[in-house]
Structure 1
């Protein structure tokens, strides 16, 4: 396990954890506990996702965003839905700050859960709401296959991370298994174009926000104007990672599950500096891991005690997500 630091973000090698039964599992879990108590951000290496799978998903996303706007808009997310395309300025992230914010200078494409069964959990009205049919742009023939494979690989990484989380929280390593086996996670591509005009006052590529769910995994291409995480003193630490690593951060649901033992930290994507040379276009792929919609979430006993009583009432993953989406006044995760 590496003790290296990239812009203050610890680097943790997931490889020695295995599926939670490897000799180095306890050490890896302890490293995650320290990191999640601190900034709640980790650079994950040794995740096992082939670079070819990562590259293929990025190529497909870039090919989609290279299509003309009229074509992209044919795949627009339906009213009240979250799968499909959203154009520049379609959202701001003021919901985390409870204040108005300039629209984000980004465009996105999102798909929900890839593999679904035919039982009521998936086919019911509630199931269809959280797991709508994915939309695949026909103009990019390789899009569906490359994204489906990347989604499954990221789902596997998230499953291993949740086992590491369970170990770190003094729970049986399988504790989260039956709470995420039918998860309602989504995969989103984020395209930050090269700006042709100065940003609006207060406008960023992505405004300061926290994420909703259990954890987020991010694969990002480096370019001027990038991801930053907020420190305790309010300042911002830039996050730089190699192309074969993922950024992992704790989401609001996991912070609540751990009774705020772990942190869901504010983060943002900044604009390229005015003196940046050349094309500053930036692209990221984010896997937003969200447990089964009926998974019960109450503060874990291992995170509570006489001096730290439970801070949160019982909820479910789905109820928590719906509350967050309603607060944001959209259903776009």
Structure 2
């Protein structure tokens, strides 16, 4: 494990939690509760994902983005859809703020849920909408295999984190199990190309935003121009982590589920400094965890009380996601 860790983002070892019944489980849950109250961001180590699985997913993503644009465009996301390729300028922010802004200086590739059954939950109109067939670029030989394995590994990490969340929120450890066992999560690669010319005024690699779902897991390269998290005073803290760690942050749905006990925090990806020198290309792999589309979301009783009445009405994971996507004009997940 590298010793290069951020000073402001808490680093938490997931290994002592086990599946929720290990001796160190309570300490891990308490640490997550503090972190999710304070900043909503955590650096997760001890997650159990083999480094070769992480590296393989990154390599195949980079190989895809290295293809000629005409080949990448063959896999363009369909109108109104979110799986497939989106080129530079295809996404405008701030989609979490209900605002129009300059398009992000990035390109992306996204796949939805990998493993699906043949029951109605998956094959119905709703199921097909939230879990469209993945598109695999044939020009990259190991793309499908490496992404499938990485998706499954990240799904397992997210399942364990939802158990940590249950414990931290004084719920039965398996409280979220039946709410995420058929989740509609997606995996996305983001390529931030080398900036050989200055960006447009106010254009960032990714403008300030919050994420939609329960939690986000990020694997990122260390390159000039990177992730920043907004502090409570409005200033920005850079995030740098070793390649074998994940950055985890709370999404809007989990903030709503916890009646804002936990924070869905604004973050952005900045441009490299003009004097960075050399290539400033940067790549990230992001797992956006979203519970089952029919999972009911009501502010948890353990997060409400006489001084903290419920702020939100009932919704479902799917309804919440659809609302967010509609506001974003289906430009992001």
Shorter-chain TM range is: over 0.9
Per-residue deviation, 1:7: 3.5
In 1, the alpha carbon distance for the partners of 2:78 and 2:99 equals: 26
- The answer on 1:141 being equivalent to 2:141 is yes
Secondary structure of 2:10's match? strand
In 1, the alpha carbon distance for the partners of 2:241 and 2:213 equals: 22
Residue in 2 aligned with 1:208? 208
Residue in 1 aligned with 2:244? 244
Q: Which runs of 5+ in 1 are unaligned?
A: none
Given that residues 179 and 291 in structure 2 are in contact (C-alpha distance below 8 angstroms), is that contact kept between their aligned partners in structure 1? yes
How is 1:26-105 mapped onto 2 (pairs within 5 angstroms)?
A: 26-105=26-105
Secondary structure of 1:55's match? helix
CA RMSD of aligned residues (A): 0.9
Per-residue deviation, 1:196: 2.0
In 1, the alpha carbon distance for the partners of 2:92 and 2:115 equals: 30
In 1, the alpha carbon distance for the partners of 2:87 and 2:103 equals: 11
Given that residues 83 and 332 in structure 1 are in contact (C-alpha distance below 8 angstroms), is that contact kept between their aligned partners in structure 2? no
In 1, the alpha carbon distance for the partners of 2:180 and 2:84 equals: 24
In 1, the alpha carbon distance for the partners of 2:206 and 2:199 equals: 12
Per-residue deviation, 1:197: 1.2
Given that residues 39 and 265 in structure 1 are in contact (C-alpha distance below 8 angstroms), is that contact kept between their aligned partners in structure 2? yes
Given that residues 7 and 238 in structure 1 are in contact (C-alpha distance below 8 angstroms), is that contact kept between their aligned partners in structure 2? no
In 1, the alpha carbon distance for the partners of 2:96 and 2:321 equals: 14
Map Cα deviations across residues 162-186 of structure 1 (whole Å, 9 max, x no partner): 0000000000000000000000000
Per-residue deviation, 1:5: 6.2
Map Cα deviations across residues 218-265 of structure 1 (whole Å, 9 max, x no partner): 000010000000001100000000000000000000000000000000
Secondary structure of 1:187's match? strand
Residue in 2 aligned with 1:16? 16
Residue in 1 aligned with 2:254? 254
The runs of at least 4 aligned residues of structure 1 exceeding 4 Å deviation read: none
Map Cα deviations across residues 275-331 of structure 1 (whole Å, 9 max, x no partner): 001000000000000000000000000000011000000000000000000011115
In 2, the alpha carbon distance for the partners of 1:117 and 1:221 equals: 34
Secondary structure of 1:6's match? coil
Given that residues 213 and 251 in structure 1 are in contact (C-alpha distance below 8 angstroms), is that contact kept between their aligned partners in structure 2? yes
Q: Which runs of 5+ in 2 are unaligned?
A: none
* TM-score, structure 2 as length reference: 0.98
Given that residues 215 and 248 in structure 2 are in contact (C-alpha distance below 8 angstroms), is that contact kept between their aligned partners in structure 1? yes
In 2, the alpha carbon distance for the partners of 1:327 and 1:277 equals: 38
In 1, the alpha carbon distance for the partners of 2:317 and 2:98 equals: 22
- The answer on 1:225 being equivalent to 2:225 is yes
Given that residues 17 and 164 in structure 2 are in contact (C-alpha distance below 8 angstroms), is that contact kept between their aligned partners in structure 1? yes
Per-residue deviation, 1:98: 2.9
In 1, the alpha carbon distance for the partners of 2:306 and 2:190 equals: 44
Residue in 2 aligned with 1:235? 235
In 2, the alpha carbon distance for the partners of 1:207 and 1:332 equals: 13
Given that residues 220 and 283 in structure 1 are in contact (C-alpha distance below 8 angstroms), is that contact kept between their aligned partners in structure 2? yes
Secondary structure of 1:332's match? coil
Map Cα deviations across residues 63-115 of structure 1 (whole Å, 9 max, x no partner): 00000000000000001111000000101121223332110000000000000
Residue in 1 aligned with 2:187? 187
Given that residues 81 and 332 in structure 1 are in contact (C-alpha distance below 8 angstroms), is that contact kept between their aligned partners in structure 2? no
* TM-score, structure 1 as length reference: 0.98
In 2, the alpha carbon distance for the partners of 1:196 and 1:317 equals: 41
